[in-house]
Amino acid sequence: VIGVVVYSAPAKVYLSGEHAVVYGKRAVAVALDLRTTVRLERSDNFLYQTNTDTKYLEEAVSAFSSIKAVYGLNIKVESEIPVGSGLGSSAAVTVATLGALSEEFDVNLTKEEIAKLAFEVERSIQGVASPTDTFVSTVGGCVLVPDLIQIQDMLDCAIVIGDTRTVGSTKELVQAVKELRSSEPEVLDLIFDAIDQITASGIGWLEAGDYKRLGMLMNINHGLLDAMGLGSLELSAIVDGARGAGALGAKITGAGGGGCIVAICEEAMVEHIVEGIRAAGGEAIVAGVSRDGVRKGN
């Protein structure tokens, strides 16, 4: 292929199960139609222009080079995903870059191969990584973790993200939960089991289209994350703001300590929820579920 190749990949949120997944429990993550777009063309040298984390872009190119030699590229990345907020911005840029390279160099990587290679890129940069972000960004829809299977391609409700614009360190928070578990193993294991059941029951409501009950479970999940010390004043405020404005459910998404909350609501309530989140000091981002994972075009 000669010319500019354009690929994009989505962000993700957890409807349930973060942290408990570290202990083998189930979680559900969904792709959001908040995307990172990569425009790539061959060139004599390497030139990258991006508004997101460049490290992942460089590492993706380098990982791809072990499949096929790459001598020069112009790459422009435009991302709608806030960096470091737990929405999977690094996975999206990695996955979109690999998708574009695969087409440009006629390698035809399957989605499975893209997800696997993207996971290796994240792991090589972060030391440890969960395959969730890269998998969800590659396949789209609602994904059950740790099985990594798409359980549904859409949700019939709206999603509003509330960003605290503060950042929590995933590594430190995972470590804090580990320490809490070493001092109170029986209690923490019951919390993890409860979260596992939230995911299991939540999938039932999701499949039945009962978002009210799904939302109730998300609220319980939030309480349990808070109980493990993963909340913050800002997170609590915008969770309350979203619920007060009529959200069916609202919870921390991702590692916590800062970052984002995810709220689900009826389509007609979106503007209310946005206002509720703003009034509580958060930045609101409206983003439906993305049926598509990595795809050609933006």
Question: Residues interacting with ligand PMV, by CB under 6 A?
Answer: 18-19, 21-22, 86, 88, 130, 170, 174, 254-255
Residue with tokens 């969960």: 130
Q: Which is nearer to ligand PMV, 11 or 237 (CB)?
A: 11
Q: What angle do CA 245, 250, 254 make, to 5 degrees?
A: 145
Which residue in 133, 147, 153, 189 is the catalytic one?
133
- Picking from 125, 153, 157, 140, the residue whose alpha carbon sits closest to that of residue 264 is 157
Q: Which is nearer to ligand PMV, 19 or 39 (CB)?
A: 19
Closest approach of Cβ 48 to ligand PMV, in Å? 24
Is 240 known to be catalytic?
Answer: no
Task: Report the 10 Å Cβ neighbour count for 209.
Answer: 10
Closest approach of Cβ 140 to ligand PMV, in Å? 17
User: In what helix (H) or strand (E) does residue 220 lie, and over which residues does it extend?
Assistant: helix 211-227
Closest approach of Cβ 219 to ligand PMV, in Å? 19
Kindly state the tokens that stand for 38.
Answer: 């990569």
Kindly state the tokens that stand for 265.
Answer: 């609501």
Q: For ligand PMV, which residue has the nearest CB?
A: 254
Closest approach of Cβ 281 to ligand PMV, in Å? 20
User: In what helix (H) or strand (E) does residue 251 lie, and over which residues does it extend?
Assistant: strand 249-253
Q: What is the DSSP string of 85-96?
A: SSS-HHHHHHHH
3-state secondary structure of 292: coil
Q: Which is nearer to ligand PMV, 254 or 282 (CB)?
A: 254
- Picking from 175, 174, 176, 223, the residue whose alpha carbon sits closest to that of residue 198 is 223
Q: Which is nearer to ligand PMV, 3 or 24 (CB)?
A: 24
Q: Which is nearer to ligand PMV, 8 or 134 (CB)?
A: 134
Q: Which is nearer to ligand PMV, 70 or 174 (CB)?
A: 174
- Picking from 101, 108, 99, 86, the residue whose alpha carbon sits closest to that of residue 251 is 86
Closest approach of Cβ 29 to ligand PMV, in Å? 8
- Picking from 116, 99, 10, 111, the residue whose alpha carbon sits closest to that of residue 57 is 99
Closest approach of Cβ 244 to ligand PMV, in Å? 25
How far is residue 158 CA from its own chain's centroid?
16
- The residues annotated with a catalytic role in the active site are 133
